[in-house]
């Protein structure tokens, strides 16, 4: 009798010993401080529905969209500025007031407009739509329609701030004809904006006024603010109701108020700012929360839904305490009921004015970790939404060249105002959004003990849909690292599970710092650097299957006199730049073939390269892009034939001089690789690109770019040298995939390939004919990183052998 056990299948994985040792180590060096971290599985609430940014530049033809994609946030606070959409002294169609002279004519005009919203005799839609499409806002240069369309295409919800200021749009006295005209134009403006944004972009969140408590608005009384809010709220709710009826949508208005500055102004402060010394801004809006557009009490009409405030220049614990104070005061004023969600509309370590007076930036370890501490303390106190101010370092109106509390470097001087790079503050925000956006389950605050506990800020969440736990760890210890001893048993994490640690610190920009395997004890010990933020991702359920793919192609290309030369056989992939010498500009490419892998099963994907700064000890930050063009190959690619590279022969000292093209269309920014003077394993999570890419060929581009205007990219100051697959003793670039336990169709023994042993499992376990079809379809699948010599019959031959095995007993 012929036994299938005689069929030999030998698979040899080409994975360097150093790579495995680096990825799977779980023992940290001894440090001066340590903390034991106890986790809780108790669900205590929800993480924020929305974690977002205040929008900065977002102009036609820019690369901004790609950087928003990379940020991972799901919210954008966008200023749809009335001064641009309908400037003071202008009117979409005359006469001013549209014939409204009193309350009766106001209500009649309102009813007629709502009965026929698209009738141009009520609203000049050509006027408004032209403004949205073609009149960018100033300060933050935003093409409104373009920005909203691209944000929504990336599932980013918009919070529209329509600050129709009292100084530019004054109201005449109540009860006068001019007063009714002014109030009608106010109502109609908010109706037109909300109708347009709801109709085209499903915008549901709105703010009527930004920071009414500021001294620049001192001539607006609280009573007038309230009147403006009531009119605007009615207009917004009316517009969205009409959009729903006309276009079959189900939008529901969420109006934010009072959107005040500097933290807690819920209650009065006697002897303080004149408009807040008797009635607090919170008291004002809460006491009048249910009223109609003319201020009459109406228990069926909710004027606003979410209480919003801004806060800067506080430590992490101070920020958390302030949120607690705001919530407690809101509950108290609201009759003891905790029914009003709290939103932090602007947050950062410092305001632009305070940042302008210090040398530190959001790249400074002390500031990046403080931002992490602020986030952590907010998360544990459950805001409904929170927005970092702001996305880009735009020009600062206070005399300082840029707003240093912007998290991304931008080109302020040249259209289309591209992004050049991300600060480490952006890296912290990305990790927080990754682990905590979207109303996940917030778990009980992790409890640290030991010598390092006092410098730790911790928060934890669980994403049941993705089957992942997240632990956010912020180490504020400025004098050294801290060993974290984490007990995972409370979360019932299975031994063999791979834990991913992403880090923002003085040395890393959000890359993967560690891959750890959970031991049988469920205890992890790892060393967190000083002044750093970690996001630790821990899958629950069965350990994911790991498959490693080696690069099928890798090559560097050179500009200048070598722009037509091929370097596909080089041992190294060099990434460098130079401000004047084009010949010293190198970009590297790598390609992976996923074969028959079902990308829908990818749980995580980690790029791994061996790299170093072979020139200096400074270290260099390189950008990694995923590109759509897979037609290149390592044997022929040159600078002049490479995808997504412009010709580069001139000076490179500004963002506008960068040579990677197609960012946001055919190239997506994926993250950073930060090198050091010693060769090390560099790792980056590129999961979303693989899942969204749509085919099995994965091409990556790595470049050293000018991140901010004036940055010196001289290669003598640093370059990245990556081991290619041609280097002896090294596997070259690799792609480590973690697949859901269902994994590759036909791989019944879960060893990563589809071969004869899988058929034996199918036969022995009595699996279905559908699964047999899967085995036949994918038979021979082996990850491209594995070389294999095999004596394996064709599927038909194995079937005949199996039938023979079944038939023999019948004839005995």
Looking at residue 764, what is its pLDDT?
75
User: Does position 2 have pLDDT exceeding 80, yes or no?
Assistant: no
In a domain, 126, yes or no: no
Q: Of 521, 543, 565, which one is at a domain's C-terminal end?
A: 543
Are 96 and 78 contained in the same domain? Answer: yes
Please list the alpha-helical segments (H only) found in 202-315: 222-247, 281-287
Stated as kind and residue range, the H or E segment containing 126 is helix 125-134
Q: Give the number of domains in the chain.
A: 4
User: Does position 11 have pLDDT exceeding 70, yes or no?
Assistant: no
Are 487 and 597 contained in the same domain? Answer: no
Confidence of residue 801 (pLDDT cuts 50, 70, 90): very low
Residue 750, C-beta contacts closer than 8 angstroms, at least 6 positions apart: 545, 741, 743
Residue 173, φ and ψ in degrees, nearest 5? -55, 145
Q: What is the DSSP letter of 544?
A: P
Q: What is the DSSP letter of 748?
A: T
Residue 148, φ and ψ in degrees, nearest 5? -65, -40
CA 493 – CA 471 distance, rounded (Å): 13
Selected residue with higher pLDDT from 796 and 602: 602
Are 243 and 391 contained in the same domain? Answer: yes
Share of the chain above pLDDT 90, in %: 80
Over residues 665-673, mean pLDDT? 97
First to last CA, the chain: 12
Q: Of 688, 717, 739, which one is at a domain's C-terminal end?
A: 739
Contact indicator for 492, 541 with CB cutoff of 8 Å? no
Considering only CA atoms, which of 621, 637, 710 is closest in space to residue 669? 621
CA 558 – CA 365 distance, rounded (Å): 34
Task: Give residue-wise pLDDT tens across range 307-329.
Answer: 999 999 999 999 999 999 999 99
In a domain, 166, yes or no: yes
Looking at residue 476, what is its pLDDT?
97
Contact indicator for 68, 146 with CB cutoff of 8 Å? no
Considering only CA atoms, which of 65, 64, 62 is closest in space to residue 154? 65
Over residues 749-770, mean pLDDT? 75
Stated as kind and residue range, the H or E segment containing 257 is strand 254-260
User: Does position 794 have pLDDT exceeding 70, yes or no?
Assistant: no
In a domain, 141, yes or no: no
Tokens, residue 116: 């026929």
Over residues 169-197, mean pLDDT? 97
Give me the sign of the Cα torsion angle 709, 715, 716, 720. Answer: positive
Task: Give residue-wise pLDDT tens across range 470-528.
Answer: 999 999 999 999 999 999 999 999 999 999 999 999 999 999 999 999 999 999 999 99
CA 792 – CA 777 distance, rounded (Å): 15
Selected residue with higher pLDDT from 632 and 809: 632
Task: Give residue-wise pLDDT tens across range 707-723.
Answer: 999 999 988 888 999 99
Question: Which domain covers residue 409, as residue numbers?
Answer: 50-121+159-436
Q: Which of 176-180, 273-277, 481-485, 707-711 is predicted least confidently?
A: 273-277
Are 765 and 732 contained in the same domain? Answer: no
In a domain, 364, yes or no: yes
In a domain, 132, yes or no: no
Residue 329, φ and ψ in degrees, nearest 5? -70, -40
Q: For tokens 């302020």, name the residue.
A: 412
Q: Which of 55-59, 188-192, 391-395, 761-765 is predicted least confidently?
A: 761-765
CATH of the domain at 270: 3.20.20.80
Are 356 and 252 contained in the same domain? Answer: yes
Looking at residue 744, what is its pLDDT?
63
Confidence of residue 782 (pLDDT cuts 50, 70, 90): low
Confidence of residue 754 (pLDDT cuts 50, 70, 90): confident
Looking at residue 792, what is its pLDDT?
34
Over residues 143-154, mean pLDDT? 98
Contact indicator for 290, 257 with CB cutoff of 8 Å? no
CA 145 – CA 27 distance, rounded (Å): 52
User: Does position 662 have pLDDT exceeding 50, yes or no?
Assistant: yes
Task: Give residue-wise pLDDT tens across range 427-450.
Answer: 999 999 999 999 999 999 999 999
- For 340-353, the DSSP string reads S-EEEEEE-SS-HH
Looking at residue 244, what is its pLDDT?
98
CA 434 – CA 535 distance, rounded (Å): 9
- C-alpha angle with apex 116: 114 to 122, nearest 5 degrees? 85
Looking at residue 553, what is its pLDDT?
98
User: Does position 26 have pLDDT exceeding 50, yes or no?
Assistant: no
Are 231 and 348 contained in the same domain? Answer: yes
In a domain, 716, yes or no: yes
Are 430 and 459 contained in the same domain? Answer: no
Are 373 and 293 contained in the same domain? Answer: yes
CA 786 – CA 15 distance, rounded (Å): 9
Q: With 0.85 as the threshold, say if the pTM is over it.
A: yes
CATH of the domain at 580: 2.60.120
User: Does position 812 have pLDDT exceeding 80, yes or no?
Assistant: no
Are 469 and 509 contained in the same domain? Answer: yes
Are 259 and 403 contained in the same domain? Answer: yes
CA 83 – CA 338 distance, rounded (Å): 37
Contact indicator for 622, 575 with CB cutoff of 8 Å? yes
Measuring CA to CA, how many Å separate 648 from each of 189, 240, 366, 578, 739? 48, 50, 37, 11, 40
Are 679 and 566 contained in the same domain? Answer: yes
Q: What average pLDDT does the structure give for the chain?
A: 90
Over residues 412-438, mean pLDDT? 98
Please compute Rg for the chain using Cα positions. Answer: 30
CA 798 – CA 657 distance, rounded (Å): 60
Q: Which of 451-460, 587-596, 753-762 is predicted least confidently?
A: 753-762
CATH of the domain at 458: 2.60.40.1180
CA 704 – CA 574 distance, rounded (Å): 10
Q: Of 543, 568, 583, which one is at a domain's C-terminal end?
A: 543
Residue 144, C-beta contacts closer than 8 angstroms, at least 6 positions apart: 78, 80, 84, 85, 131, 132, 133, 135, 136, 137
Q: Let me know how many helices (H) and strands (E) the chain has, helices first.
A: 17, 36
CA 159 – CA 204 distance, rounded (Å): 7
CA 519 – CA 486 distance, rounded (Å): 12
Selected residue with higher pLDDT from 199 and 271: 199
Burial of 678 (0-12, 13-18, 19+ CB in 10 A): exposed
Looking at residue 752, what is its pLDDT?
64
Contact indicator for 474, 373 with CB cutoff of 8 Å? yes
User: Does position 370 have pLDDT exceeding 60, yes or no?
Assistant: yes
Task: Give residue-wise pLDDT tens across range 332-345.
Answer: 999 999 999 999 99
Confidence of residue 753 (pLDDT cuts 50, 70, 90): confident
In a domain, 24, yes or no: no
Share of the chain above pLDDT 70, in %: 90
In a domain, 133, yes or no: no
Beta-strand ranges (E) seen in 335-404 are 342-347, 385-388
Considering only CA atoms, which of 196, 200, 202, 187 is closest in space to residue 235? 187
Considering only CA atoms, which of 657, 76, 791, 705 is closest in space to residue 385? 76
Are 614 and 694 contained in the same domain? Answer: yes
Residue 266, C-beta contacts closer than 8 angstroms, at least 6 positions apart: 280, 281, 282, 283, 286, 307, 326, 329, 330, 333
- C-alpha angle with apex 684: 680 to 685, nearest 5 degrees? 150
Q: How many CB atoms lie within 10 A of CB 349?
A: 28
Over residues 89-116, mean pLDDT? 96
Tokens, residue 741: 């336990």
């Amino acid at each position: 009798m012929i036994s299938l056990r005689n069929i030999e299948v030998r698979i040899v994985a080409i994975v360097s010993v150093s790579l495995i040792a680096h990825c799977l180590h779980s023992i940290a060096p001894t440090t001066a401080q340590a903390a034991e971290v106890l986790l809780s599985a108790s669900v205590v609430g929800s993480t924020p529905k929305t974690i977002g940014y205040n929008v900065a530049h977002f102009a036609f033809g820019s690369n901004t969209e790609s950087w928003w994609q990379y940020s991972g946030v799901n919210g954008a606070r966008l200023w749809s500025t009335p001064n641009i959409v309908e400037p003071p002294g202008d009117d979409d169609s005359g006469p001013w007031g549209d014939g409204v002279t009193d309350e009766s004519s106001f209500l009649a005009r309102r009813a007629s407009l709502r009965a026929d919203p698209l009738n141009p005799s009520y609203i000049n839609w050509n006027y408004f739509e032209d403004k949205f499409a073609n009149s960018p806002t100033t300060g933050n240069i935003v093409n409104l329609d373009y920005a909203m369309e691209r944000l929504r295409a990336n599932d980013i919800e918009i919070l529209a701030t329509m600050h129709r200021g009292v100084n530019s749009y004054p109201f005449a006295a109540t009860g006068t004809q001019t007063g009714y005209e002014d109030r009608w134009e106010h109502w109609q403006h908010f109706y037109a904006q909300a109708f347009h944004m709801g109709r085209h972009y499903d915008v549901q969140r709105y703010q009527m006024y930004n920071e009414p408590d500021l001294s620049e608005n001192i001539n607006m009384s609280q009573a007038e603010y309230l009147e403006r809010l009531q009119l605007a709220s009615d207009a917004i709710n009316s517009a969205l109701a009409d959009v729903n009826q006309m276009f079959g949508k189900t939008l529901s208005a969420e109006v934010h108020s009072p959107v005040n500055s500097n933290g807690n102004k819920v209650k009065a402060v006697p002897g303080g700012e004149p408009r807040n010394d008797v009635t607090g801004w919170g008291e004002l809006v809460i006491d009048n929360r249910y009223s109609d557009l003319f201020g009459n009490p109406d228990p069926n009409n909710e004027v606003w839904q979410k209480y919003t405030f801004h806060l800067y220049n506080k430590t992490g614990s101070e920020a958390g305490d302030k949120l607690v104070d705001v919530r407690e005061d809101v509950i108290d004023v609201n009759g003891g009921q905790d029914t009003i969600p709290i939103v932090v509309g602007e947050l950062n370590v410092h305001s632009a004015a305070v940042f302008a007076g210090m040398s530190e930036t959001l790249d400074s370890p002390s500031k990046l970790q403080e931002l992490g501490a602020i986030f952590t303390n907010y998360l544990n106190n459950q805001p409904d939404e929170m927005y970092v101010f702001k996305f880009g370092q735009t020009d600062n109106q206070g005399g300082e060249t840029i707003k240093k509390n912007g998290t991304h470097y931008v080109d302020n001087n040249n259209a289309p105002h591209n992004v050049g790079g991300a600060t480490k503050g952006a890296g912290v925000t990305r990790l927080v959004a990754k682990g905590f956006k979207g109303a996940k389950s917030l778990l009980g605050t992790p409890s640290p003990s030991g010598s390092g506990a006092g410098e730790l800020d911790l928060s934890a969440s669980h994403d049941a849909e993705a089957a992942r736990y997240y632990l956010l760890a912020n180490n504020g210890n400025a004098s050294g690292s801290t060993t974290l001893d984490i007990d995972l048993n409370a979360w019932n994490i299975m031994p063999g599970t791979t834990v991913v640690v992403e880090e923002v610190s003085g040395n890393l920009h959000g890359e993967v710092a560690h891959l750890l395997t959970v031991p049988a004890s469920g205890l992890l010990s790892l060393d967190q650097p000083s002044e750093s933020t970690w996001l630790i991702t821990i899958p629950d359920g069965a350990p994911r299957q790991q498959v490693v793919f080696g690069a099928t192609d890798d090559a560097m290309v050179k500009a200048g006199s070598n722009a037509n030369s091929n370097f596909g056989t080089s041992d190294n992939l060099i990434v460098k730049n130079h401000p004047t010498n084009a010949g010293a500009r190198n970009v590297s490419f790598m390609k992976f073939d996923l074969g028959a892998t079902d990308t829908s099963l990818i749980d995580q994907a980690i790029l791994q390269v061996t790299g170093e700064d072979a020139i200096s000890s400074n270290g260099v930050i390189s950008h990694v892009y995923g590109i759509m063009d897979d037609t290149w190959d390592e044997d022929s690619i040159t600078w002049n034939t490479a995808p997504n590279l412009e010709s580069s022969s001139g000076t490179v000292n500004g963002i506008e001089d960068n040579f990677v093209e197609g960012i946001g269309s055919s190239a997506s920014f994926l993250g950073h690789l930060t090198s050091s003077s010693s060769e090390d394993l560099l790792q980056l999570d590129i999961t979303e690109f693989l899942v969204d890419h749509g085919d099995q060929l994965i091409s990556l581009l790595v470049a050293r770019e000018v991140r901010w205007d004036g940055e010196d990219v001289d290669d003598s100051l640093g370059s990245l040298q990556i081991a290619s697959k041609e280097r002896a003793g090294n596997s070259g670039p690799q792609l480590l995939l973690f697949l859901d336990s269902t994994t590759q169709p036909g791989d019944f023994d879960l060893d990563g390939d589809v071969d004869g042993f899988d058929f034996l499992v199918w036969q022995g376990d009595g699996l279905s004919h559908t699964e047999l079809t899967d085995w036949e379809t994918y038979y021979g699948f082996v990850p491209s990183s594995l070389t294999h010599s095999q004596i394996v019959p064709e599927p038909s031959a194995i079937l005949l052998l199996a039938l023979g095995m079944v038939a023999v007993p019948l004839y005995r």
